[in-house]
Amino acid sequence: MAAIGLLNSKAEYVRTAQALALNISAAKGLQDVMKSNLGPKGTMKMLVSGSGDIRITKDGNILLHDMQIQHPTASLIARACTAMDDMTGDGTTTMVLLIAELLKQSDSYISEGVHPRAITEGFKIARQSCLEKLEQLKLPLTASREHLIPIAKTSLRTKLAPKLADHLTEICVDAVLSIYNPAQSGNELDLHMIEIMAMQHKMECESKLINGLVLDHGSRHPSMPKKVKNAYILTCNVSLEYEKSEVNSGFFYNTAEQRDKMVKSERDFIEQRVNKIIELKKKVCNGTDKGFVVINQKGIDPISLDMLAKEGIMALRRAKRRNMERLALACGGAAVNSFDDMTEDVLGYAGSVYEHVLGENKFTFVVDCAKPQSVTILINGPAQYAIKQIQDAIRDGLRSVKNAITDGGVLPGAGATELALYHHLLQYLESPDSATQMGVKGRFRVGVKAFADALLIIPKVLAINGGHDPQESITQLETESKLSGTSLIGFDINTGRPVNTVDMEIMDNYCVKRQCLSSSVIIASNLLLVDEVMRAGLSSLKQ
Amino acid sequence: MTSQGKEVVTLQFGKFPNFVGAHYFNIQTAGFSFNPDFPADVNHDVLFREGKSDSGSFSYTPRLIAVDLEQSLHSLSKTGLNFVTPPSTSEVQDVTQVEALEVLQNPQPPKNEYFEDVEKQSSAQENPNAMQVDLLLKTKYDLSTTVKSWSEVLTVNLHPRSITMIPKTLSSGLDVPKSTCKTGDDIWKNPSFNDDFEDNLRFQLEACDIVQGFHLLTECENLYSGMSNRCLDYLRDECGKKSILTVPIFSLNEDEEDGLEIRKRLCSNLINTGFCLSRSSELSDLVAPFSTLSELWGDGKEFQDFKTLKYDGSSCYQSSAVMAACLELISTPYRLKRLPGVRMNNVNEVLSLPGRKLVGAGVVFPFPDVKIDYDILELLKRHKYRSLCPFVPLESTLDTQSVTLRGFPHSQFPSSPALFVSSCNVRVPRTFPDIIPHEYDLSNSALYYGRLREVSGLSGLCNTREMKAFTDKLVEKLRQINVGKISSFVSNDFERPELVEMMESVEEISASYDISMFL
């Protein structure tokens, strides 16, 4: 009886083998649920909420959270997955499978009497060795189109139908390349500079890359131009809305006339601002065929809109905060916070600005910029759920391209990496040095062995999802990779035959694999070392 | 549009505020007048936005941002409609070109009586062979026993961009009643929530010509306190000096727990409330705490007696209805067509006393007298407000107040910047709980079908030194739990300096209600 039982008779607890069984069964349960998601042949899930909303996804992270897990162990794993998703944007399913498999493999050893500590130590050694090997396996790449296409394609093909995926692959890669500036210090790639905009269309479902920006609102005045060629663009964050001001409060006026005067002077204040814009417009545009567009982050009231419309200026109000930055990158110029002393330098330039109306929604396209460093991916879809699915896939695709550029390399996909690591660990166990140099002796060896076996779950599940016999496929893979002598041999999901992953353009992110290996070992080790689970709440201090 | 640039955007954070909001917007739609001979006195464009729905038809949806947990949407679809039939699997497959599709279906919640009748009505209208019988909806559907979520109460369609839910990935494993405002901060900062929120709010703002202000309804005792504080920061940043009316709402914690858990919850509730009040009185123009409890924080579970109402305070559905009625009354002045010049900031001006932003809201709802043959002072003397602010009876010294009276002609009263009278009654929506005694119903009460109930009402926002009772109590309780020391027991989220700072600012608020400060 556990000590807690003496102190609190209501405490619930399980110990040693039972506690472990509890954890392992939870992990296994998750594995069973998630198994079918892995790889391009995994089944899509359609989540239908009680209120009739649907969501199409294969993302492990979303599914995990949708299940509303109550089991403490399972929710621990789920949280690790969220962290993984936040960091790399991919690999959640892989991680769940790996954690569960590590526990499963250890279970058989533990039931034979091996202490969990021996296994976890073995895990640590194996992980260290694997991470070193990963570095060797890495295929270096440069930020060029042909190098990035495979990685984007692999990522997108697991989330979308192949035809759609291939179309989006190029869009994603081009989008990242257009905002990628190697000369910039730090090589920090800001994916926020790629705007993803969705349009719900009955007819059209082609997504495209716009070299410029698409804003999800239009001008609010009927007589403003709907299309402006050769446009100067003024981006600003200045309110053009009549607001009450602090002086306008009770103490300063005695009669209605005085109050009206007050209001009028307030109004004048806004009008002056508008006039400054008009002045600048006249200065730069008069006598030329150029147009003028104002994009304001703050509001513009109807009277101001009217004044601007009379001058033929197109004005948009309440622009997205982030679009201010994007506009500056796409069109040049700079966002201004005050209209005093404006010069032509603050203006950006776009070849064409036009409005597109779709039902209730207006979209404003700012295109034909000279050298846009901010671009928009425009998704057209027939239904909201289809758009959402594409949106999620594009996000993941962009992340994978970004990861590849920051890592400076990729890993062979289609189970090739796992297989290579498996072989590496077996060799490592056999090599005479391992016993002495790394301290892999006696008991710790089982941990390394369990780790190696667990890695094979990935190619196995890929094979199962593709409708192939897992054992047969693994054997074929092993022979093929031994014969060819490279670590690039992966598994062709369509034929079930071994293939060269480089030829087939199946690539995975280095950081995803790395993160996956590290985290899953930590979680699995923690779970293995749990030998008592208890639930004991104090009912009341007064009793 | 004739909103004349007086739009008010409503923001609702949490379950309870969404309940209040659902009732509030129900009351609005109940007040729509479709008879050109009797135009409504209230300008609905202030709270509603005209537009076109996805299917191309005309839509009139609240200018609203509703924030809640994704799983609490219940029957409300993200398209803003209740009880939507999901598209068929084959259609989905067709659209997404997916070969293998596995369907994971959550059970659809059962329709309540009201929605069943609405469905019957619409199917009767669509069927041309049906007899020419109008299927009338009942006057009242009391949902007290069945209601599970605010979405079931809602009789309005929302705009899809109004629904800003906290995604499941952020809320898993979260125990809302015990959460702290730091959790709210974290959720706010997370891009999967924040991007959505900013987009939606911006969308609502873009549709306004000149926003006059915001109603911000929030739960103040849990994580939403943190979220609403961040939201206030954002609003001040983006919208400058617009008026903001913040309504912190105290939750009803019904579930019985053991002593230690209650104490723990109480501690975090107090700290969250402290943060909510200190930040919101700094950033908003008026703060009017709402609760149907007359005492808070473990002092008692007595509910406020509204004299003319028979309600069960422990029911979220009924309590929120009372609050919604109050909000409807106090928000009337700046929505009247008759007074186009009155804006939210005029009400603020009336109530403003240096440093005092915390005001008490009181109502007499329904107003018991059918005829008034006395003047305004007599009126206020005869009908004392029933307060919605805990610990504050709103009885004696009301330093300044803004009074709204509905259901009586304005010509009867002298015009005053602090008295707003409208001849419109408050129409009671069908899903409003059955808490209004029969004798106060001013409509043709013989009918059970079709017509809506109508009542008159009186409300006041009062800036009074009595508010000190509320703030003092908060200070006392916060001192009692010894904020600095106990924090780690509640949560490790808080750091000492900010707790001390919060404490000081609450004490400062309390001090500004001293009698000496008034002179």
Residues 78-107 of B with CB under 8 A from A: 78-79, 82-87, 89, 92, 95-107
Arithmetic mean of pLDDT, B155-176: 82
Supply B177's token pair.
């009643």
Q: Are residues A349 and A249 in the same domain?
A: yes
Chain-chain contact of A52 with B71 (C-beta, under 8 angstroms) = no
> Would residue A3 count as lying in a domain?
no
User: Which stretches in chain A have pLDDT values below 50?
Assistant: 246-252, 538-543
Residue A40's nearest CA partner among A462, A502, A472, A516 is A462
Structure confidence at residue A483 (pLDDT): 79
Q: Are residues A416 and A512 in the same domain?
A: yes
Q: Are residues A229 and A172 in the same domain?
A: no
> Would residue A543 count as lying in a domain?
no
Q: Which residues of A touch B345 (CB under 8 A)?
A: 244, 249
B156 C-beta neighbours (distance < 10 Å), count: 20
Task: Mark out the alpha helices in A431-509 (DSSP H runs).
Answer: 432-437, 444-455, 457-465, 470-484, 501-504
Mean pLDDT (chain B) is 82
Which residue in chain A has the smallest CA separation from B4?
A302
Q: Are residues A15 and A124 in the same domain?
A: yes
Chain-chain contact of B86 with A53 (C-beta, under 8 angstroms) = yes
Q: Cα(A331)–Cα(A373) distance, rounded to whole angstroms?
A: 8
> Would residue A303 count as lying in a domain?
yes
Distance (Å) of CA A268 to CA A250, A262, A433, B329: 20, 10, 85, 35
Chain-chain contact of B259 with A298 (C-beta, under 8 angstroms) = no
Structure confidence at residue A543 (pLDDT): 35
Which range marks the domain in which residue A475 is found? 10-140+410-535
In this predicted structure, the answer to whether residue B3 has a pLDDT above a threshold of 60 is no
Are A424 and A133 within 8 A, CB to CB? Answer: yes
Look at the block and give the residue holding tokens 């004048």: A268
Chain-chain contact of B5 with A66 (C-beta, under 8 angstroms) = no
Count of domains in chain A?
3
Q: Are residues A106 and A125 in the same domain?
A: yes
CATH classification at residue A304: 3.50.7.10
Q: Cα(B29)–Cα(B16) distance, rounded to whole angstroms?
A: 20
Q: Is some CB atom of chain A closer than 8 A to the CB atom of B199?
A: yes
Q: Are residues A156 and A130 in the same domain?
A: no
Q: Which residues of B touch A200 (CB under 8 A)?
A: 54
Say which residues have a Cβ less than 8 Å from residue B414's Cβ, sequence separation at least 6.
B376
Which residue in chain B has the smallest CA separation from A53?
B77
Residues 5-24 of B with CB under 8 A from A: 5
Q: Are residues A128 and A164 in the same domain?
A: no
> Would residue A18 count as lying in a domain?
yes
Is the whole model's pTM more than 0.90, yes or no? Answer: no
Are B320 and B19 within 8 A, CB to CB? Answer: yes
Structure confidence at residue B130 (pLDDT): 57
| Probe site for chain A from B79, B106, B261 (most A CB atoms < 10 A) | B106
Structure confidence at residue B111 (pLDDT): 82
Supply A239's token pair.
């309110």
Q: Cα(A42)–Cα(A59) distance, rounded to whole angstroms?
A: 11
Tell me the domain boundaries of chain B.
7-81+139-472
Q: H/E/C letters for each residue in A284-351?
A: HHCCCCCEEEEEECCCECHHHHHHHHHCCCEEECCCCHHHHHHHHHHHCCCCECCCCCCCHHHCEEEE
Supply A127's token pair.
């992980």
Tens digits of residue pLDDT in B310-337:
888 888 888 898 899 999 988 888 888 8
Place B10 in a pLDDT band, splitting at 50, 70 and 90. very high
Which residue in chain A has the smallest CA separation from B190?
A86
Q: Is some CB atom of chain A closer than 8 A to the CB atom of B172?
A: yes
Structure confidence at residue B24 (pLDDT): 92
Q: Which residues of A touch B236 (CB under 8 A)?
A: none
Distance (Å) of CA B398 to CA A90, A250, B109, B277, B385: 60, 20, 47, 21, 11
Which residue in chain A has the smallest CA separation from B98?
A161
Arithmetic mean of pLDDT, B141-160: 84
Which residue in chain A has the smallest CA separation from B350?
A250
Closest CA of chain A from B372, distance in Å: 31
Closest CA of chain B from A477, distance in Å: 26
For residue A318, give the nearest of B83, B206, B352 by CB distance.
B206
Apex A214 CA angle, A183 and B1, nearest 5? 145
Chain-chain contact of B101 with A78 (C-beta, under 8 angstroms) = no
| Probe site for chain B from A244, A360, A361 (most B CB atoms < 10 A) | A244
Which residue in chain B has the smallest CA separation from A218?
B206
Q: Are residues A344 and A479 in the same domain?
A: no
Chain-chain contact of A48 with B51 (C-beta, under 8 angstroms) = no
Element (H, E) at B169: helix B168-171
A to B CB pairs, distance under 8 Å:
174
Structure confidence at residue A541 (pLDDT): 39
> Would residue A392 count as lying in a domain?
yes
For residue B202, give the nearest of A46, A318, A381 by CB distance.
A318
For residue B108, give the nearest of A50, A241, A298 by CB distance.
A50
Q: Cα(B519)–Cα(B513) distance, rounded to whole angstroms?
A: 11
Q: How many residues does chain B have?
A: 519
Burial A100-135 (b: 16+ CB within 10 A, else e): bbbbbbbbebbeeebebebbbbbbbbbbebbeebbe
Closest CA of chain A from B416, distance in Å: 14
* Domain B7-81+139-472 classification at class level: alpha beta
Distance (Å) of CA A134 to CA B51, B126, B365: 56, 65, 72
Q: Which residues of A touch B82 (CB under 8 A)?
A: 51
- φ, ψ of residue A339 to 5 degrees: the values are -90, 5
ipTM entry:
0.82
| Probe site for chain A from B202, B244, B348 (most A CB atoms < 10 A) | B202
Q: Determine whether B460 is exposed, middle or buried from the number of CB atoms within 10 Å of its CB (0-12, 13-18, 19+).
A: buried
Radius of gyration of chain B (CA): 23
Chain-chain contact of B52 with A360 (C-beta, under 8 angstroms) = yes
> Would residue A4 count as lying in a domain?
no
Arithmetic mean of pLDDT, B174-203: 86
Q: Which residues of B touch A245 (CB under 8 A)?
A: 241
Q: Are residues A268 and A364 in the same domain?
A: yes
Say which residues have a Cβ less than 8 Å from residue A216's Cβ, sequence separation at least 6.
A197, A320, A361, A362, A363, B203
Q: Are residues A445 and A336 in the same domain?
A: no
* E-strand stretches of B144-291: 163-166, 211-219, 243-249, 286-287
Structure confidence at residue B357 (pLDDT): 85
Q: Are residues A366 and A463 in the same domain?
A: no
CA-based diameter of chain A, in Å?
100
CATH classification at residue A190: 3.30.260.10
Region of residue A36 (phi > 0: left; psi between -120 and 50: alpha; otherwise: beta): alpha
For residue A239, give the nearest of B79, B240, B349 by CB distance.
B240
Tens digits of residue pLDDT in B189-207:
888 888 889 989 988 888 8
CATH classification at residue A515: 1.10.560.10
